[in-house]
Structure 1
Amino acid sequence: MSKLNVKLPGLNLKNPIMPASGTFGFGDVPQAKKYDLNEMGAMVFKTTTLHARIGNPQPQIAVMKNGVLNSVGLTNPGVDKVISDKIAPFKEQYPQLPLIASVGGSQISDYITIAKKLSDSGLLNALEINVSCPNVAAGGMHLGTDPVVVEKLTSEIKKVVNIPVYIKLTPNVTNIVEIAQAAERGGADGLSMINTLLGLGIDIKTHKATLGNGFGGWSGSAIKPVAVRMVAQVHQAVKLPIIGMGGIETAEDIVEFMLAGASAVAVGTAHFKDGLAIPHLVADLETLLNELKVDDINELIGQYKF
């Protein structure tokens, strides 16, 4: 057994590193062709909605010196085509790789329908429920900021699926702990956190927003201290395992998230700098654990207490 092995509900990971939803498409982006994706701990697909979405107005992405603003708008071909045209061929190519689908919607009934279809496909190991996308006008932000809704949504999804459910938490709330506790009460198997912070860039020459949709999700190294703080707070308030994310670029970042309470991590914005971010991080993490004299990465989880 490798010192990088991590076990989570539904997920037996050879290492704790996966791409954040939306940053690796459906395994069909250019960087996905650069290495054997079996080097990942798991694959997380981009968010699926009930019907096809063309996304938000261009420009959808603005790369800045210490992060990225995005307002892609959940572009995808709709759940039925995602299953048949995206997930099924990916599963055929990578039969041993744990697969996580991300579910998005504008109302609870959408989430239930999508989650059931994905679960019934038999192709997936877990679902990530995206209640936290800050750039979808109809639903995402509202659903994920109300603990009553989060508990109900989680509970309703759990009734129709037969694979573990991870609720992806938004940081755009006053108290993220109460949202995490609501997901736990609803029967969530785990949490995924954090999604992007709501941001805005303004072009000083045109006086218009940098993104075509105005506001967007802010990610990258600049948000890491916020993400680590939130993971630590939630880990000490609930019993659910956490997939942590938010500005991870180095092996040291991964160890920091795990000390805060994450059992695994997701990497997103780092791919803008390095298309091979995940295999590089896997190698660097093994080296770092040797330097720290850590024989099992699970020993690190939640060692930080406040």
Structure 2
Amino acid sequence: MAENPADPRLQIQFCGLPFSTPVVLLSGCVGFGEEYTRVAGFSNRDAGAICLKGTTGNARLGNQPHRVYETPEGMLNAIGLQNPGVDDVVDRILPTLDFSETRFIANVSGSTIEEYVAVTRRFDDSPIDAIEINISCPNVKEGGVAFGNDPDMSARVVAACRAVTGKPIITKLSPNQTDIAENARRCIEAGTDGFAVINTLMGMAVDVERREAVIGNNQGGLSGPAIKPIALLKVQQVYQVAAPHGIPIIGQGGVVNAKDALEFIIAGASAVGVGTGLFYDPLCLPKMLAGMSDYLDRHGIAHISDLTGTLRLHGFVSACDLPPEAS
């Protein structure tokens, strides 16, 4: 593994894997690890890990355009899991990746539990370092409801994948559900090793002149700074469930600079994911790492992991949270 290009105080262990930095490049934003290598000055060594593009059993063409649309402080996307299929990824793409530069995490997607299992099993027999399970996909056998919005279905997917791989499993949790903490608890029971919190929020953009949806799929996933307050809350909620079990979290959703990253770590994340931030500034990672090191210097903190979950919550309880007799 490559030496840390930045500060050794930023090296972490995530699900038993050594990350040279706590910054993870998120699935769908860097293709299959090669997208940003064409940007002058970009280095995979600045990332502790790279999540590859969502991969399904067979090749998919994805959704009709428009697939991406900029919104205030964010971005809508509905790519539709365009990918060449797991066999092509394992046989053709993985051999081209330099595993000495960083860790590579596969992103497994599917429309049935059987597809999740088949793709996970295929990645298990590959050099990939870990497997991220994207449970925000629609279950075609259950009328299209997303696996990740139902704790029972989420746990079934995790348990089924756990049975066919010995690699670390990171479950990517959806914010589009009633109780993310309960979902996390069920996934821990099913055997997940880590969490990625959160996936995108569902949103829409409207063309007022045409009076039609801008996105070809009508709705898409909202990412970017606009969702950061929601993502921070979800990380903190999942941390309360995950920390007693030693389950680490990749906090993500609107991270574009060092301050954002530090907020997620303080809220309970062990690592932070950068996705839409790369569209704002493809060379944001070195600046982010430098800012994190400066924070450790200014506050006399020995290691970035010492910050995880150090958020001080206020003791105030709203009247609406009190039982009737107390209010």
Query: What's the TM-score once normalised by structure 1's chain length?
Result: 0.94
1:24–1:32 contact (8 Å) kept in structure 2: no
Matched, 1:45 2:49: no
Distance in 1 between the 2:8 and 2:312 partners? Answer: 27
Would the alpha carbon gap of residues 125 and 148 (structure 1) be closer, same or farther in structure 2, given more than 3 Å must change?
Answer: same
Structure 2 stretches lacking a partner, 5+ long: 1-6, 314-327
2:54–2:107 contact (8 Å) kept in structure 1: yes
1:62–1:211 contact (8 Å) kept in structure 2: yes
Deviates more, 1:291-300 or 1:219-228: 291-300
274, 286, 296: which one aligns with 2:281 = 274
2:139–2:147 contact (8 Å) kept in structure 1: no
Q: Deviations over 1:54-79 (max 9, x none)?
A: 11011100012310000011110000
Matched, 1:109 2:114: yes
164, 188, 203: which one aligns with 1:160 = 164
Structure 1 stretches lacking a partner, 5+ long: none
Distance in 2 between the 1:130 and 1:52 partners? Answer: 17
220, 227, 242: which one aligns with 2:224 = 220
CA RMSD of aligned residues (A): 1.7
State the Cα distance separating 1:29 from its structure 2 match. Answer: 1.6
* 1:142-221 equivalent positions in 2, closer than 5 A: 142-221=146-225
* 1:1-150 equivalent positions in 2, closer than 5 A: 2-30=8-36, 33-34=39-40, 35-90=42-97, 93-121=98-126, 123-133=127-137, 138=140, 142-150=146-154
Distance in 2 between the 1:120 and 1:178 partners? Answer: 32
Name the aligned partner's letter for residue 24 of structure 2.
M
Distance in 2 between the 1:98 and 1:141 partners? Answer: 32
State the Cα distance separating 1:146 from its structure 2 match. Answer: 1.2
Aligned pair count? Answer: 301
Distance in 1 between the 2:26 and 2:203 partners? Answer: 19
State the Cα distance separating 1:180 from its structure 2 match. Answer: 0.5
Name the aligned partner's letter for residue 243 of structure 1.
I
Q: Deviations over 1:267-287 (max 9, x none)?
A: 011111111122321222212
Deviates more, 1:276-285 or 1:27-36: 27-36
Deviates more, 1:180-189 or 1:292-301: 292-301
Distance in 1 between the 2:186 and 2:231 partners? Answer: 19
Q: Deviations over 1:193-229 (max 9, x none)?
A: 1000000000111011111110000001010010000
Would the alpha carbon gap of residues 137 and 160 (structure 1) be closer, same or farther in structure 2, given more than 3 Å must change?
Answer: closer
284, 293, 311: which one aligns with 1:304 = 311
Would the alpha carbon gap of residues 191 and 77 (structure 1) be closer, same or farther in structure 2, given more than 3 Å must change?
Answer: same
Matched, 1:293 2:300: yes
Question: Secondary structure of the residue that 2:63 maps to in structure 1?
Answer: coil
Distance in 1 between the 2:194 and 2:227 partners? Answer: 22
